[in-house]
Structure formats: structure tokens, C-alpha cells
Amino acid sequence: MSRKNDSKPSRALRGRAGRMQGGRGSGRASTGAVRLWGRHAVEAALKNPDRRHRKLWATREGVASLDGELPSDFPVEWASPTDLARLVARDAPHQGLVLECDALEDVFLEDVLDGDPARPLVVLDQVTDPHNVGAIMRSAAAFDACAIVTQDRHAPPESGTVAKSASGALEVVPWVRVVNLSRALEEIAEAGYWRIGLDGDGPATLGDALPAGPVALVLGAEGDGMRHNIQQHCDALARLPISSAIESLNVSNAAAIALYAIAVRETAE
């Protein structure tokens, strides 16, 4: 099934599925699985050939809202909105759809370093809020970033909250999780990227600091910002030219503005 008045052709929903163990209402995903909810997150996961799906709980209205048709043998359990609410985080907007699936396969840094000057790389230092990571991933997809990179110990796990905030971008933006972020930044530099750390006290504005070549945008957590060692691994520190009426921006908002600035820079050249 497809959306009305949509000029884009719909893609078939995919179904490499196996029935999970356990019943409805547990509130927890099976071992090694994640639960995704909300139409955009679930629809994107169903269309992702790299996802292994286990089971879909849904209302009939929720399935009808999907852009595409489920395979006839896809394991679906019809449920009421109240039943679905027991499967997700408290007050999560499931929109009649909850999908249990395997986590995505690991992505390695060398697999995403293509050096395309039009495609920035986003590096997050200790950004731990899943809503922020998901929102940044959504902006990364919107502005064609090649990947986001986080340190495994200081980033949220793949989850329904990240996926809902990413609004489908979790399925299309590679997420590289590394052990040592400083070493990763060294590899990024070796691949030809100019590493710009976003800092409210940066000596130059982002527009003035942008080079013509590939850019790795480095952002730190709200409040603490980037760690000193991460700043030392940046080629430049830059600030957004915001009004003195406000001290700072939410990290996901700052990421979106910076990615737009990079996209405009590349478009203009």
C-alpha cells in the first residue's frame, strides 16, 4: 500500500522474520534484540534489507498507515493501543506499531571514510542523551552526512528512543562506534578530513573556519562540551554566531545548523 499524493514510488516492505519467544506485555525486548516504535522508525526498519525482523505488534490502523505491504508470512500480532503501550517506554508515541528486530551489524570507521567533500562526518564526544543522538542522526540524513561516530562507552545503545527521534534515519546513516575516539580522529585526519570542533568560545565562526575539502564536525555534550583531549585532536575550533541573548544551543540544534552551513558551503563552490 502507498501513501496518497506521493510522487515517490513505494518500496516493498521486507520480511526476514523469525518468531520470538515470550509473550506480550513483558516490556523488554528479547536477548540481542531492540524494539522500535512509531510509524517512521518501524517503516524504515521494515524496508531496510540489513535488518533482521522478529515480530511486529500492531493495530490494524497502524499497519494501514505503512507505505508498503507486509509479506503474507510476516509474524504480526494484532494488539490494542493499550497492549502496545506495555511494550515500549512509558508514554512513548507508538502510533500503533511496535517492531522487535535484531540490532544492526557493526559498521567500521574505514568503511565510511570516502573523503567526499560534499559529505561531512559527524563525531560526537560523550553525547549520551538518546533523543539528541537520534535528532542529530536525522539531521545527518537530511544533509547527506556519510556517518556519525561515537565512543562506545559514552553513547546510548541502539534503541527505540534513538530510532523514534531519528525518524527513520537510524536505518540509513551508518553509526560507527569506536573504542578510542582520539585514535578515531587521527584516522579521520589521515583520510583527509579537516576536523572542526564546535565550541562556543571558538576563535572563528564556523563559516570562516570551513575549508573546501572534507569536513569532520566534532560536537561535545551539552554543558561540558568536548573533552580537552578531543579538542586537541581538532584542526580548528569554531563557534556559531548566535546572539548574546542566549548562552548556547541544544547540541542537536547546533548540529543541524552546522550541517546546513557545510551543505551551503559545498553547494556554493
| Cell representation of residue 139 | 539531521
| 144-199 pLDDT per residue, tens | 999 999 999 989 999 999 999 999 999 999 999 999 999 999 999 999 999 999 99
Beta strands in the chain (DSSP E): 33-37, 53-58, 76-78, 97-102, 121-125, 147-151, 175-178, 194-198, 204-205, 215-220, 236-239
How confident is residue 139, by pLDDT bands cut at 50, 70 and 90?
A: very high
Grid cell in block for residue 134: 537520534
Distance of alpha carbon 237 from alpha carbon 231, whole angstroms:
8
Retrieve residue 9's grid coordinates: 514510488
Mean pLDDT of 32-48: 93
Distances (CA, A) of 9 to 40, 72, 144: 16, 21, 21
Q: Place 13 in a pLDDT band, splitting at 50, 70 and 90.
A: low
Query: Residues 68-96: pLDDT tens digits?
Result: 888 888 889 999 999 999 999 888 899 99
- Taking 80 as the threshold, does the pLDDT of residue 268 lie above it? no
Per-residue pLDDT band for 16 (boundaries 50, 70, 90) equals very low
pLDDT band, very low/low/confident/very high, at 201 (cuts 50, 70, 90): confident
Rounded distance between C-alpha atoms, residue 154 and residue 151, angstroms: 6
Give the pLDDT of residue 9: 45
Q: 25: which 3 cell numbers?
A: 506485555
| Residue with grid cell 522474520, as numbered in its chain | 17
Say what angle helices 130-142 and 251-268 make with each other, to 10 degrees. Answer: 10
Task: Say what the pTM is.
Answer: 0.86
Strand order in the sheet with 147-151: 175-178, 147-151, 121-125, 215-220, 194-198, 236-239, 204-205
